Chain A
Amino acid sequence: MKIKPLQIIAHIILIIGVLLMVVPIWISFASSSHDSVTILTEGMKFHIGDQLARNYNEVLNEKGGWSEEVTAAKMFINSFIMALGIATLKVVISAMSAYALVYYRFKLAVPIFWLIFITLLVPLEVRIFPSYKIVSDLGLTNSYTGLILPLVASATATFFFRQFYKTIPDELLESAKLDGANAWSFFIDFLVPLSKTMIAAMFIFMFVYGYSQYLWPLIMTTAEEYWTVVMGMKIIYTESYEGVALPRTAERFAYIILSMIPPVLVVVFLQKWFIKGLIQTEK
Chain B
Amino acid sequence: MSFLDLKNVTKIYPNGTKAVHETSLSIDEGEFMVFVGPSGCGKSTLLRMVAGLEDITEGDINLDGKLMNEVDPSERDVAMVFQNYALYPHMNVYNNLAYGLKNRGIDKETIEQKVNDAAKLLQISDYLQRKPSMLSGGQRQRVAMGRAIVRNPKIFLFDEPLSNLDAKLRIQMRLEIKKLQQKVGVTSIFVTHDQVEAMTLADRLAVINNGIIEQLGTPIEIYDNPKSLFVAGFIGSPQMNFLDGNLKNKTLSAEGFEIKDVNTEHEGEVTLGIRPEHLVQSENGLINLKVDLVEQLGSDNLVYGQLKNIKDFCYRCPGNQTIEKGSNLSLNIENKKYYIFDKSTGKRVN
Residues of A within 8 A of B (CB): 169, 171-172, 174-182, 185, 189-190, 193-194, 281-283
Residue from B52, B74, B80, B131 within 8 A of A180 (CB atoms): B74
Q: How distant is A195 from chain B, measured CB to nearest CB, in Å?
A: 10
**CB<8 Å pairs between A and B, sample of 21:** A171-B82, A172-B86, A172-B88, A174-B53, A174-B82, A174-B86, A175-B80, A175-B82, A175-B88, A176-B99, A177-B53, A177-B72, A178-B53, A178-B74, A178-B76, A179-B99, A179-B103, A180-B100, A182-B74, A282-B133, A283-B89
B79 within 8 A of A: yes
CB-CB nearest 4 A-B residue pairs: A180-B103, A179-B100, A171-B86, A175-B86
Q: Are A169 and B86 in contact (CB under 8 A)?
A: yes
Q: Are A181 and B89 in contact (CB under 8 A)?
A: no
Q: Are A177 and B74 in contact (CB under 8 A)?
A: yes
CB neighbours (8 Å) of B104 from chain A are 180
* Contacts A174-B73, A175-B86 known; 12 new A-B pairs at CB < 8 A: A171-B84, A172-B86, A175-B88, A176-B88, A176-B99, A177-B72, A178-B51, A179-B99, A180-B104, A181-B74, A182-B74, A190-B88
Which residue of chain B has the shortest Cβ distance to A185 in the bound complex? Answer: B103
Q: Are A178 and B88 in contact (CB under 8 A)?
A: no
A-B contact count (CB 8 A): 61
B78 within 8 A of A: yes
B147 within 8 A of A: yes
Hey, what's the 0/1 contact readout for B74-110 against A, CB within 8 Å counting as 1? Answer: 1010111010101011100000000110011000000
A172 to B53, CA, bound (A): 12
Q: How distant is B225 from chain A, measured CB to nearest CB, in Å?
A: 36
**In B207-225, which residues have CB < 8 Å from any A CB?**
none
Interface SS of chain B: helix, strand, loop or mixed?
loop
Q: How distant is A235 from chain B, measured CB to nearest CB, in Å?
A: 47
Q: A177-B73, A179-B147, A282-B133 are in contact. Are A189 and B99 (CB under 8 A)?
A: yes
Most chain B C-beta atoms within 10 Å of own C-beta, residue among A172, A180, A182: A180
Q: Are B74 and A169 in contact (CB under 8 A)?
A: no
Q: How distant is A181 from chain B, measured CB to nearest CB, in Å?
A: 6
Q: How distant is B108 from chain A, measured CB to nearest CB, in Å?
A: 17
Residues of B within 8 A of A (CB): 51-53, 72-74, 76, 78-80, 82, 84, 86, 88-90, 99-100, 103-104, 131, 133, 147, 151
Q: How distant is A176 from chain B, measured CB to nearest CB, in Å?
A: 8
A178 to B77, CA, bound (A): 7
A281 to B76, CA, bound (A): 33
Q: Are A181 and B131 in contact (CB under 8 A)?
A: no
Q: How distant is A258 from chain B, measured CB to nearest CB, in Å?
A: 39
CB neighbours (8 Å) of A176 from chain B are 88, 99
Residue from A174, A189, A281 within 8 A of B80 (CB atoms): A174
Which residue of chain B has the shortest Cβ distance to A283 in the bound complex? Answer: B89
Which residue of chain B has the shortest Cβ distance to A168 in the bound complex? Answer: B89
A130 to B329, CA, bound (A): 93
CB neighbours (8 Å) of B99 from chain A are 176, 179, 181, 189
